[in-house]
Amino acid sequence: MKNTKVTLSTLSFIDSLVSTKIIDDLKPNSNEEIAVSFQVPPNLANLEIMIETEVKNISKGTTEKLKSTHSIKLDTKNNANSFYESYFRKYKGDYYYYLLGKNGEALVDSSIQLTFAHSTIANQSTSVLLNTDEDGKIKLGPLKDIRLVTSSFNGPNGPC
């Protein structure tokens, strides 16, 4: 691969402005992935990644230009009336449920209905009502053989 470059185009959800950054002179090899660093702009709604390169086609004896584009749309929930969001996280073998406000603040002592479905017991699930701690989280443990976890929280601005 020669003359490889990556073009990053970001779109702001506030003013719909597109900003483009070109990273060229990349030296890819077959032993590692191409990694590029860039600063994520505020109010990011969409990221488009385009990679362009030239490869030598040995069987034809020519050089071919290749291009691939991938677009990632971010769910900003900017127009949502809900002021909280729930997240699952795995840390050191255990799973945690987090309930956070729109600015990332912990929602303390909130009651969450969690439903667990086991991987070997068909058409049966178990529900429990648990409260978040001072960090807005609930430790769920390793969740061995659990194939599905759903949550329900009905806050003052509606369900989550």
Domain edges within the chain: 2-73, 84-159
Q: Is 123 helix (H, G, I), strand (E, B) or coil?
A: coil
Fold adopted by 84-159:
Immunoglobulin-like (2.60.40)
Mean pLDDT of the chain: 88
The answer on pLDDT for 31 being more than 90 is no
Q: How would residue 159 be classed by pLDDT, with cut points 50, 70 and 90?
A: low
* Residue 127 clears pLDDT 90, i.e. is over it: yes
Measured between alpha carbons, how far is 63 from 156 in angstroms, rounded to an integer? 62
pLDDT (average), residues 138-157: 87
* pLDDT(135) > 80: yes
Locus of tokens 């490869």 = 55
Condensed to tens digits (0 to 9), the pLDDT of residues 34-44 reads 888 888 888 88
Q: How far apart are the first and last CA of the chain?
A: 47
pLDDT in tens, 42-78: 888 899 999 999 999 889 989 999 999 999 998 766 6
